[in-house]
Amino acid sequence: MDTTTQAGARTIIREFLRKRVGQDIQFNDAEDIFAAGLVNSLFALELVVFLEQSFDITVENEDLNLQNFSTVENLEAFILKKKDK
């Protein structure tokens, strides 16, 4: 993934999260959205489907680690790692 698509990834992730947590709730790229209680019980599954559809990756059992999914920054790093493989 080149730098342009990297920047694009972050925007796409933010956009997805905004829709899920609400436009009026503030959170930064380093904030743990799970720990902050910003999402409901369906969110983890929605997130997996979103990542697979938007970035053409397959989320495997071993990828399921809260660390990978907890912040915008970590999500971006996770996508880059999957794309590099």
CB burial readout 55-73, b (16+ within 10 A) else e: bebebeeeeeeeebbbbbe
Q: Which of residues 7-46 bind other proteins (CB under 8 A)?
A: 16, 18-23, 40-42, 44-46
Instruction: Please tell me the distance from the alpha carbon of residue 27 to that of residue 17, in angstroms, as a whole number.
Output: 10
Q: Does 61 bind other proteins (CB under 8 A)?
A: yes
CB of 8 to other proteins, least distance (A): 17
Residue ranges that bind other proteins, judged by CB under 8 A:
16, 18-23, 40-42, 44-47, 49-50, 52-53, 61-62, 64
